[in-house]
């Protein structure tokens, strides 16, 4: 298996600081004051991930506003308590502590890419406070009981799934397909390499990878050219400004015209990035967890979402972002868990632990804007299927919804058998 020492380069220097921040008393959360149940949000309206953090935060806040306008949860109002973190490691940890001290019973939309899983899980356990996370599963997020409900399966499983889809649907040559990867220097990038030992069984030749900066990435030409000389497909995992740089450089180097194809990890390219790069990403493929706003026949809740975002923020439907849908949907999942917990223990006895227990008992919960959600200790993910898409004329064009394989982290045997089918 690949070692991820380099992937933690951004956070190693913070270990002592984190340990110090975790010292002290942590009071288990309980809903009490102001006659409202509080949920927390570690916001990233500024910083390196603001392009995705802003719509996520807006979605979380706006769905709570919508629920309260409908009378709340059985007459009980919901309040969002949020603090700006700019996706900073130290600020996320301190914010998580402050949210617990303010009595939130659930955190929705935290932890961002660079927070070590072991640190945040330890804090969750002490606080008895679960997180619905926008990130994919990490080995450090696994615990007994489970405290983090991740957006997606682990990065390695996603990498293998996407390249298997490419081979089965787009690859036509008899020889093995040659694949390389470029990713930003975080755990998300490095951990995906754990799936590479399985590629040979799929008839895929993995030829190498390149890691680029998480912050301040202004040129990826050298890394792209090193991969372009030996690959048929390049798999891209990055978010925010780094993605913009990679897309712009690939277009400037005319790599698609030279026979190099691109597949991106979930939501690496979304409406936020396309607003900047325009048609430069045309011809790329990838996956996403949220539908296009036009897919209202399958997801009727999109109509309400679009109406409310226009009412609340003046955003036209064509300008809505997938990450915003995610924030709205994840907020909906969290509030459903709160509703179930109140039904079981009563408002007066509502705690973070009660909400956690309800969260991991969800079965086929239909938000109306993403596929139904089933969350368990054994499969702690919101999305079990994703939408494969391509980009044409600067727009995400859906191809099909496809089921994800079992997680390599949780069920390696089932993961391998799924790849062999």
Residue 33 is predicted with a pLDDT of: 47
According to the model, what pLDDT value does residue 50 have?
86
Q: Which of 18-22, 40-44, 181-185, 188-192 has the lowest mean pLDDT?
A: 18-22
Q: Quick one: pLDDT at residue 34?
A: 61
Give 113's DSSP letter: T
Tell me how long the chain is: 421
Average pLDDT over residues 269-283: 95
> In angstroms, rounded to a whole number, what is the distance separating the alpha carbons of residues 60 and 263?
29
pLDDT digits (tens, 9 = 90+) for 148-192: 999 999 999 999 999 999 999 999 999 999 999 999 998 889 999
294-303 pLDDT, tens digit each: 999 999 999 9
pLDDT, residue 115, reads 63
Model pLDDT for residues 76-85, shown as the tens digit of each residue:
999 999 999 8
Q: What is the share, in percent, of the chain residues with pLDDT greater than 90?
A: 77
If DSSP codes are grouped into helix, strand and coil, which group holds residue 204? strand
Q: Which residue has the higher pLDDT, 345 or 117?
A: 345
Residue-wise pLDDT tens digits, 402-413: 999 999 999 999
Q: Is the pLDDT of residue 9 over 70?
A: no
Q: Which domains does the chain have, with CATH numbers?
A: 6-10+27-152+306-359 (3.40.50.2300), 155-288+385-420 (3.40.50.2300)
Measured distance CA(175)–CA(205) in Å, rounded:
10
Q: Is pLDDT above 50 for 2?
A: no
| Range with lowest mean pLDDT among 14-28, 303-317, 360-374 | 14-28
**pLDDT > 80? residue 276:** yes
What mean pLDDT value characterizes the chain? 90
- The three-point CA angle 146-149-153 to 5° equals 105
Of residues 221 and 51, the one with the higher pLDDT is 221
Mind listing the pLDDT tens digit for each residue in 115-145?
A: 666 788 899 999 999 999 988 998 889 999 9
Other CB atoms within a 10 A radius of the CB of residue 131 amount to: 27
Backbone angles phi, psi at 79, to 5 degrees: -125, 135
Which residues, in sequence order, are CB contacts of 44 under 8 Å at separation 6+? 50, 52, 53, 54, 56, 57, 84, 85, 86, 87, 112
**287 phi/psi in degrees, rounded to 5:** -135, 160
Confidence of residue 110 (pLDDT cuts 50, 70, 90): low
Burial (CB count <10 Å: 0-12, 13-18, 19+), residue 359: buried
Q: How far is CA 337 from CA 40, 130, 375, in A?
A: 14, 11, 11
Amino acid 116: pLDDT:
65
388 contacts: CB under 8 Å, gap ≥ 6: 165, 285, 286, 287, 398, 399, 400, 401, 402
In order of 99, 117, 196, 317, 396, the CA distances from 275 in angstroms are 33, 31, 33, 14, 11
């Amino acid at each position: 298996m690949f070692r991820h020492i380099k992937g933690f380069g951004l956070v190693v220097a913070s270990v002592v600081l984190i340990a110090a921040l975790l010292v002290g008393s942590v009071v288990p959360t309980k809903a009490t004051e102001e006659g409202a149940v509080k949920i927390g949000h570690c916001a990233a309206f500024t910083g390196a991930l603001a392009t995705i953090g802003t719509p996520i935060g807006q979605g979380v806040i706006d769905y709570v506003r919508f629920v309260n306008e409908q009378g709340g949860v059985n007459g009980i109002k919901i309040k969002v308590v949020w603090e700006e973190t700019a996706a900073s490691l130290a600020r996320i940890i301190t914010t998580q502590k402050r949210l617990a001290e303010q009595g939130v019973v659930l955190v929705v939309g935290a932890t961002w890419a660079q927070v070590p899983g072991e640190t945040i899980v330890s804090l969750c356990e002490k606080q008895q406070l679960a997180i619905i996370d926008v990130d994919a599963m990490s080995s450090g997020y696994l615990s007994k009981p489970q405290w983090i409900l991740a957006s997606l399966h682990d990065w390695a499983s996603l990498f293998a799934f996407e390249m298997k889809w490419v081979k089965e649907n787009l690859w036509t040559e008899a020889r093995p397909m040659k694949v390389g990867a470029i990713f930003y220097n975080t755990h998300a990038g490095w951990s995906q390499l754990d799936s590479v030992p399985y590629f040979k069984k799929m008839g895929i030749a993995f030829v190498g990878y390149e890691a680029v900066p998480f912050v301040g990435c202004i040129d990826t030409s050298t890394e792209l050219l090193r991969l372009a000389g030996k690959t048929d497909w390049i798999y891209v995992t990055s978010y925010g400004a780094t993605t913009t740089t990679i897309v712009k450089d690939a277009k400037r180097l005319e790599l698609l015209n030279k026979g190099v194809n691109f597949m991106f990890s979930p939501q690496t390219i979304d409406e936020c990035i396309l607003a900047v790069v325009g048609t430069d990403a045309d011809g790329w493929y990838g996956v996403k967890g949220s539908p296009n706003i036009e897919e209202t026949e399958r997801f009727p809740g999109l109509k309400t979402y679009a109406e409310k975002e226009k009412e609340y923020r003046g955003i036209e439907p064509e300008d809505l972002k997938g990450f915003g849908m995610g924030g709205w949907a994840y907020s909906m999942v969290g509030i459903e868990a709160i509703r179930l917990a109140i039904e079981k223990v009563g408002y007066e006895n509502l705690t973070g632990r009660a909400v956690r227990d309800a969260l991991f008992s969800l079965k086929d919960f239909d938000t109306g804007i993403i596929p139904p959600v089933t969350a368990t200790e054994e499969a702690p993910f919101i999305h079990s299927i994703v939408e494969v898409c391509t980009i044409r004329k600067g727009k995400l064009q859906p191809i099909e919804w496809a089921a994800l394989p079992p997680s390599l982290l949780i069920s390696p045997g089932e993961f391998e058998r799924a790849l062999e089918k």
